[in-house]
Amino acid sequence: MKAIILAAGEGKRLRPFTETMPKVMLPIANKPLLEHVLDALKNTGVAEVVLVVGYKKEVIMDYLKDYKGIKITYVTQDKQLGTAHALLQAKDKIKGSFIVLAGDNIIDNKSIQKLTQDKSEYSILIKEHSHPSKYGVIFLEKQNLKELVEKPKEEIGKFISTGIYKFPKNVFKKIEALSKQGIHDLSSVVQSLLKEGMIFSTNIASSWMDIVYPWDLIQVNETMLQNIKASTGGTIEKNVTINGSVSIGKDTKIYSGSYIVGPVIIGEGCEIGPNVCIFPSTSIGDNSFIHPAAQIQNSVIMNDTHIGSSSFITNSIVARGSILGHNFSSTSGEKTIEMEGEFKKVKNLGSLIGEDCTINNHVVVDPGVIIGRKCKIESMKRIRKNIESNSKVM
Amino acid sequence: MCGIIGYNGFRDADKVILDGLKRLEYRGYDSSGLAILDKKQQVYKEVGEIKQLEKTITKTKTAGTIGLGHNRWATHGGVTKENAHPHLSNNKKIAVVHNGIIENFKTLREELEKQGVEFRSQTDSEIIAHLIEKNYKGNLENAVFLALKKLKGSYAIAVVCEDEPDKMVGARNESPLVVGVGDNENFLASDVPALLKYTNRMIFIDDGEICVLTKNSVKVFNGDKKEVKKKEEIIDWDIKDAEKSGFPHFMLKEIYDQPDTINQTIRGRISEIERSIRFPDAVEKLLNNNLDSIYIVACGTSFYAGLVGKYLIEQLTGIPVFVEIASEYRYFGTRRESSLVIAITQSGETADTLAALKEAKNSGCKTLVITNVIGSTATRTADGYVLNQSGPEIGVAATKTFISQIIVLFLMAMKIGLINDKIGSDELYQHILHLKELPKQVRTILDRSDSIADIAKQIKDSKSVFFIGRGINYPLSLEGALKLKEISYIHAEGFAAGELKHGPFALLTKDTPVIVIATMDSTYDKIIANIGEVKARGPNVIAIADDKDIEIEKHADFILRFPSNSKLLSCISIIVILQLLAYHTANIRGCSIDKPRNLAKSVTVE
Amino acid sequence: MKCVILAAGEGKRMHPLTYTRPKVMLPLANKPLLEWNLFNARAAGLKEFIFVVGYKSEMVRHYFEHGAKWNVSIEYVNQGKPQGTAHAIGLVQKFAKDFVVLSGDTIFGKNDIKNIVNKDNSMGLFKVEQPQDYGVVETKKDTIFHIHEKMDNPISTTINAGMYHFTKDIFTYIEKTQKSPRGEYEITDSINMMTKKKPLTGMVLKEWKDVVYPWHLLDANEEVLKRMKKEVKGTIEKQTTITGAVSIGKNTMILSGSYIEGPVVIGDNCKIGPNCYIRPYTSIGNGCHIGNACEIKNSIVMANSNIPHQNYVGDSIIGEHCNLGAGTKVANLRLDKKNIFVVLNGKKIDTKRRKLGTIIGDAVQTGINSVINVGSIIGNNALIGPGAVANGEIQSNTKIM
């Protein structure tokens, strides 16, 4: 059976992190989201994947050129009109039944197997959720899908749609028909099929996570790190303490006095220490240099970063290539963030720093502040408000 | 130069040979051909890329488990089907493929024509087939021996004869030849990657040697016809099939690879915490050696990397550096045992550079090579080698390997500077921080690609484009011109800015834009003056200037900006601008960017 | 009748032992896995062999050459890039028309091989307790009906043993075989096609040992050693105690005070003792040095490795050219006596063993008094410094100071 993965979206709500890469390439536990999805498809009977790409597709294609185990074909969605429209791009590559899933949702292997082994023509993976009204809410009749309501106004229902379906080949006819009417989203297609009397069986997904906002990255990173297995590479000097599940890549050097408590993953070619503390659940990418006495906790640090001495980073994201001077402090706390006209209250959020920033010494950043790409911040600054990409704070 | 391949075994020879030719295509892609011995020599040749030959072969069915194949990069004779290899003898029994140049081919051809030989092509290679036929008395290798004695020049050949259908003979003189040892099969090829899919056991044939391959045996003979015992090497490489990954051209992908290339090149070589630079032991030994001078030998873009390296090394270490074009080094270079000779060759197989390397070794110099290909001839010849670590470069015009060569030279300069106490650990740390800024700065340039494309529109119809710079920017201007010429076919020349007035000014008209590299260092004032001089004569001036430079706006017509870095490392961002300028110009003009006409990736003829 | 042995696989699940050697060359009682199959096949009457090689083929070729030493003839075919069992078997088309195929990394018994030889178009089957890890075979009376892929709820306990007797008919089906979901050409798919037209007889084997993970090698080593006959070629000094079946290679010296309880095999050119204690089911390769006050049990030590002073090694595998510093000890039992888990290639696996020491690759060095914890896996060229503690999976070239 083939799988179609929708990976064309930009992920505007994840800016500034998606300014240089599509949402599906954001790293979780040092692996792009999309790779986690591909890994979940292995051993489920899916041998071939059609990847619908669009925004910054070269980043995806370059990364996956060495991916082994599943054959990958690409189709491009030139204009991002909607999920059904994206699916339609893959029509010519599909001969029989297939499953469709988003490249930026974490899903586990067993749940996919439930779907591929389900005998029904139409099937959907659903999940229990405490706040279903943010998603497509599922109403069941016996074990089958009765109705799918997108973002209902009241808090109703218990299950949501994961957006992961199994369809027969002729679903494309329905998609094309609706597309002519200007309807491009998959939920509407499903609703229409239900009205025609199609039976959708439902399967409950074990673990499914959606990433919408930057702080979701931190949350999902923590969850995925639970699954990493300790593996030591590189050089570990004397008097280094490593507890719990810690994965250290090759050519990385951990200097004396460093204290690492897993689950933590550290990439290749890094220098950590001396006397650096890294606490759960932290991911550090490749070629990153963490200078002496820095403390990092529950954060996502991407490739090629430089964290200066005595810095304190917690519940934060530091994107690729950013250089933080010594004594950088991220403050963690509650923040109410406005997103698309809604106010979201996020607890325990630190700093969210975009790519290629240069932040000088003794800079303090308030909770939940988003610093864009390529920003420059002079020493001794207190950052209280978001900073747009390409800005300077003098 | 060309690529050759031969197979003698149990599989269908046409499949194996086509596969090998595809991997050898970077060596030449004018035309290709193969010959399968299936009772008679079945020869197929096509002009153009391998795809053409592949189409022809899939239509015909040739059984046959012994055959030869060839990719051509024309040296003698135009690109035609008749000139493509393999070439047959007059009796059509002997098939030959050849990589190299026969210097005395005119005299030999006249002699053979007097003896009644009919030539079908204008190539020098064809004479080899006829010479072998003339000397053939029932034993192929003896005939090849005698034929080769008459040749002057370079060759790597593979020969098959209808009368001895179990035998393939190969020979080498100055062009690379490798034997792949298999089970119930043996291979011959111009390089190792062509064969790695089938075997990893290789025997490197040396100059003057002849090898005889059957399905089950490999015998090698030296120039005195004595059998020699050769070592079988086990090659442990991982062949990664490079892909364009969504970019329209390999070259563009490789330009976009460069932020990562910089990281890959420095990986494992810098310790920020320890403030040190590390190279492999053999290289550390060479750099530690109380050097009084350094010679850099290279060709093409690598030569320009050497010129940039000269500035870097002289600035950081005070040691005098002499940069020589490899093909000239053998005639003019001085040799001193207290010098270190650094050869730069991306492929590790560039004939001119290898020859210079051998000369240097024979004169008692210590040698070091900077190359991108592990296991190449250069790595096996020099006393030590430093790998670019930048992954395969497929585009014929060098891009990421150029950047990576400069970074390696910069690291070496810092290392030697440290050893000689010319720079201290604080200064080293500052340089390391500047180096770390580079990937993000290159990403900034890549973001500005559209504005560079706009400038490309300006220059696309020019008859000539000039590039000028001073100091470290002078070799950059040479490289900028080379890139533009290579892929857009517009005539371009680089000059030291101070030299324009000593002659080349005569060429300036309003149709000859001038690209001026203007960095804010001690050369700045003079360069501004140069801009004035140029503008007075008509052409548009496109300045490549620092983001911080406000003054330049008063002088240049168009400006392409780069983010500030140290005076030693600004060159990296500037190079990326020059690469994108050449790329966009070629793209707008519809040129074949990854396979420019008349060029080949690794030049193994002299 | 030719015997084709598939010896091309890397054996990724045998890391780190297979970074430098193919799986079929892993030693059991100092002889490669492949050689035990060669012995049994030869005893079953087969004299002409074709080895399909690939990964690190030079090691196989170097050891076996053309089979003269065993009075058999061996030819080689190189698979090149691995593309599956059907691809491997397909390569022998020009060399064999009626042949038996053995998986090189499974140990078969000579009587079973004889039975398969005598039945054209047959394949070996075996009954196991945990069929979920294998392809289950559905039979109708004695004929193969269908070979299934791994299933969570297997329909029977009969699995594909990896031994076949094919005639040239199989090649037609191999040519038609498509790539499996794994991306390889599988012989089981070819067989499933063939059984529709030509019947294949299923024969249940009596002996079968599958070696998948490194600790299985310890089990197989034990099995082989149980049947070993004693043979002494080396020199044994006075005041040594040797009981049970102990084989000692040539030029090997057993020095005074050594206490060896068989079954144990010791290779050539070794120096054993003085005062060391070697307990049952231990294989020591050529050129090793087991020194004073050392105790080894139930372990495989490969060639040219040294366990030279005051060491304890139990239930472990040590690769070639290793050197344990004085006082280095391997722990092989958890204090809470629970099953030992191992992290291999980043995956956590229950070995189902109460006792497991360490699996060490080649050229690993340990400093004095270093400690190697239960179930640790140490990659090639790693360095465990003086007094350091090695835990979990340690990648190649790692330094733990």
Is A219 inside any structural domain? Answer: no
pLDDT at C366: 97
Claim to verify: residue A203 and residue A55 sit in the same structural domain: yes
Contacting chains of B (3 CB pairs or more, <8 Å) are A, C
Which chain B residues have a beta carbon less than 8 Å from that of C80?
Answer: 197-199
Measured CA to CA in angstroms, residue A12 lies from A213, A327, A335 at distances of 9, 31, 20
Could you tell me which residues come within 8 angstroms of residue B473 by beta carbon, excluding any fewer than 6 positions away?
A: B517, B519, B523, B571, B574
The single residue listed with the structure tokens 């598939």 is C6
Q: Are residues A162 and A41 in the same domain?
A: yes
Whether residues A237 and A185 share a domain: the answer is no
Give the residue-averaged pLDDT of A186-206.
Answer: 87
Which pLDDT band, with edges at 50, 70 and 90, does B240 fall under? low
Chain A contact partners (≥3 CB pairs within 8 A): B, C
Q: Which of B128-137, B392-401, C73-82 has the highest mean pLDDT?
A: B128-137
Compute the average pLDDT of residues A271-281: 94
Look at residues A169, A185, A212 and tell me which one is the last residue of a structural domain.
A212
Q: Is C321 a catalytic residue?
A: no
- Contact residues, chain B, for A251 at CB < 8 Å: 267-268
Residue A95 has pLDDT above 80, yes or no: yes
Q: With contact defined as beta carbons under 8 Å apart, do C328 and C368 qualify?
A: yes
Partners of C57 on chain B (C-beta within 8 Å) are: 183, 200
Tell me the mean pLDDT in the region B189-199. 86
A184 in the same domain as A65:
yes
Q: Out of A212, A239, A259, pick the residue that ends a domain.
A: A212
Q: What is the pLDDT of residue B51?
A: 84
Which residues in chain A have Cβ-Cβ distances shorter than 8 Å to B247? Answer: 58
User: CA–CA separation, B236 vs B501, rounded Å?
Assistant: 55
The answer, for B429 touching chain C at a CB cutoff of 8 Å, is no
Residues of B in contact with A303 (CB under 8 A): 263
Same domain, A168 and A48: yes
Nearest chain C Cα distance for residue B591, angstroms:
36
Q: Which residues of B are catalytic?
A: 2, 601
pLDDT in tens, A50-84: 999 999 998 898 888 878 778 899 999 988 888 88
The minimum CA-CA distance between C363 and chain B, rounded to whole Å, is 18
Find the residue in B nearest to A274 (Cα). B273
CB of C340 closer than 8 Å to CB of C358 = no
Residue A218 lies in a domain: no
* Cross-strand partners of A72: A49
- Select the residue of B245, B267, B440 nearest A62 (Cβ to Cβ): B245
Chain C nearest-CA distance from A228, in A, is 7
Best probe of the C interface among B181, B184, B234, B236, by most C CBs < 10 A, is: B184
Q: Is the pLDDT of residue A188 over 90?
A: no
The number of C-beta contacts closer than 8 angstroms across A and B is 58
* B217 reaches C (C-beta below 8 A): no
**A155 — pLDDT class (breaks 50, 70, 90):** low
Q: Does residue A253 have a pLDDT over 60?
A: yes
Q: How far is A347 from chain B (nearest CA, A)?
A: 32
Residue scoring higher pLDDT (B38 or C35): C35
Give residue B242's pLDDT.
54
Mean pLDDT (whole number) for B187-216: 90
Range with lowest mean pLDDT among B167-176, C73-82, C125-134, C145-154: C145-154
Contact A47 C398 (CB under 8 A): no
* Residue A232 to residue C400, Cβ atoms within 8 A: yes
Please report the ipTM that was assigned to this predicted complex: 0.80
Domains present along chain B, CATH in parentheses: 3-234 (3.60.20.10), 242-439 (3.40.50.10490), 448-597 (3.40.50.10490)
Whether residue A232 is found in the same domain as residue A186? no
Q: Is B236 on the interface with C (CB under 8 A)?
A: no
Provide the pLDDT for residue B600. 67
CB proximity B537 to C under 8 Å: no
In the predicted structure, residue A147 carries a pLDDT above the cut 90: no
Give the residue from A154, A180, A212 where a domain finishes: A212
Summary mean pLDDT of chain B: 89
Residue A250: give its domain's CATH number: 2.160.10.10
Report how far apart, in Å, the C-alpha atoms of B12 and of each of B63, B65, B67, B109, B140 are: 6, 5, 9, 35, 23
Q: Token pair of A326, please?
A: 């010594």
Angle at C211 between CA C207 and CA C213, to 5 degrees: 155
For residue B226, which phi and psi values (nearest 5 degrees)?
A: -90, 145
- Measured between CA atoms, the residue of chain C closest to residue A249 is C395
Tokens of B218: 């490999």
* Set of chain B residues whose Cβ sits within 8 Å of the Cβ of C81: 197
Interface touch B256/A289, C-beta < 8 Å: no
Q: Which of B184, B197, B201 sits opposite C77 (nearest CB)?
A: B184
Candidate from C75, C77, C81 with C-beta closest to B197:
C81
Contacts of residue B594, defined as CB under 8 A and 6 or more positions apart, other chains included, come to: B249, B250, B251, B394, B395, B396
How many C-beta atoms lie closer than 10 Å to residue A355's C-beta? 25
**Contacts of C368 by beta carbon, 8 Å cutoff, 6+ apart:** C325, C326, C327, C328, C386, C387
Is there a contact between A233 and C398 if contact means CB atoms under 8 Å apart? Answer: yes
CA-based nearest distance C349→chain A, Å: 11
Domain that holds residue A315: 224-393
Which of A58, A273, A289 is opposite residue B245, by nearest beta carbon? Answer: A58
Residue A237 is assigned to a structural domain of this protein: yes
Q: What is the mean pLDDT of chain A?
A: 90
Q: Which of C87, C216, C289, C309 is catalytic?
A: C309
Q: Does A233 touch chain C (CB under 8 A)?
A: yes
On the question of pLDDT at C62 being above 80, the answer is yes
Q: Is the peptide bond before C263 cis (omega within 30 degrees of 0)?
A: yes
Q: Least CA distance to C376: which residue of chain A? A: A231
Contact A74 B246 (CB under 8 A): yes
More confident residue, A1 or C50: C50
Residues in chain B whose Cβ is within 8 Å of chain A: 240, 243, 245-247, 253, 256, 259, 263, 267-268, 271-273, 436-437, 439-440, 443-444
For B245-273, the pLDDT digits (tens) are: 678 888 998 999 899 899 889 988 998 88
Please give, rounded to a whole number of angstroms, the shortest distance from the CA of A115 to a CA of chain B: 31
- pLDDT value, residue C273: 87
Q: Do A277 and A332 sit in the same domain of this protein?
A: yes
Inter-residue contact A293 to A310 (CB < 8 Å): yes
Predicted confidence (pLDDT) at residue B598 exceeds the cutoff of 80:
no
Position A217 in a domain: no
State the nearest Cα–Cα gap between B198 and chain C, in angstroms: 5
**A82 and A157 fall within a common domain:** yes
Distances (CA, A) of B285 to B277, B279, B320, B356, B367: 13, 9, 19, 22, 11
pLDDT of residue A183: 84
Residue of A nearest to C384 (CA): A236
Is the pLDDT reported for residue B176 higher than 90?
no
pLDDT digits (tens, 9 = 90+) for B320-361: 999 999 988 877 666 777 789 999 999 888 888 998 998 898
Average of per-residue pLDDT values in chain C: 92
Task: For residue range C164-194, list pLDDT tens digits in order.
Answer: 999 999 999 999 998 876 778 999 999 999 9
Å between A215 CA and nearest CA of chain B: 24
Q: Is the pLDDT of residue B38 over 90?
A: no
- Assess if residue A81 is contained within a domain: yes
pLDDT exceeds 60 at position B606: no
Q: What is the value of pTM for the model shown? A: 0.84
Neighbour count for residue A86 (Cβ, 10 Å): 26
Q: Are residue A185 and residue A234 in the same domain, yes or no? A: no
pLDDT score of A6: 93
Minimal Cα distance from B252: which residue of A? A58
B241 pLDDT more than 60: no
**pLDDT of C331:** 96
Asked whether residue A70 falls in the same domain as residue A197, the answer is yes
Of C385, C397, C401, the CB nearest to A250: C397
Q: Is residue A201 located within the same domain as residue A307?
A: no
Residues of chain A in contact with residue C83, where contact means CB-CB under 8 angstroms, are: none
Determine the residue of chain A that is closest to B269 in CA distance: A269
| C77 with B183: Cβ contact below 8 A | yes
d(CA C294, CA A263): 37
Asked if B585 and B488 count as a contact pair (C-beta separation under 8 A), the reply is: yes
Asked if the structure places residue A197 within a domain, the reply is yes
**pLDDT, position B239:** 58
**Domains of chain C (ranges plus CATH)?**
2-212 (3.90.550.10), 220-400 (2.160.10.10)
Number of separate domains in chain A: 2
> Which of these ranges, A139-143, B171-175, B290-294, C363-367, has the smallest mean pLDDT?
A139-143
CATH at A128: 3.90.550.10
Chain C CB within 8 Å of residue A73 CB: no
Which of C377, C384, C395 best probes binding to A when mutated, by most A CB atoms within 10 angstroms? C395
- A55 and A77 assigned to the same domain: yes
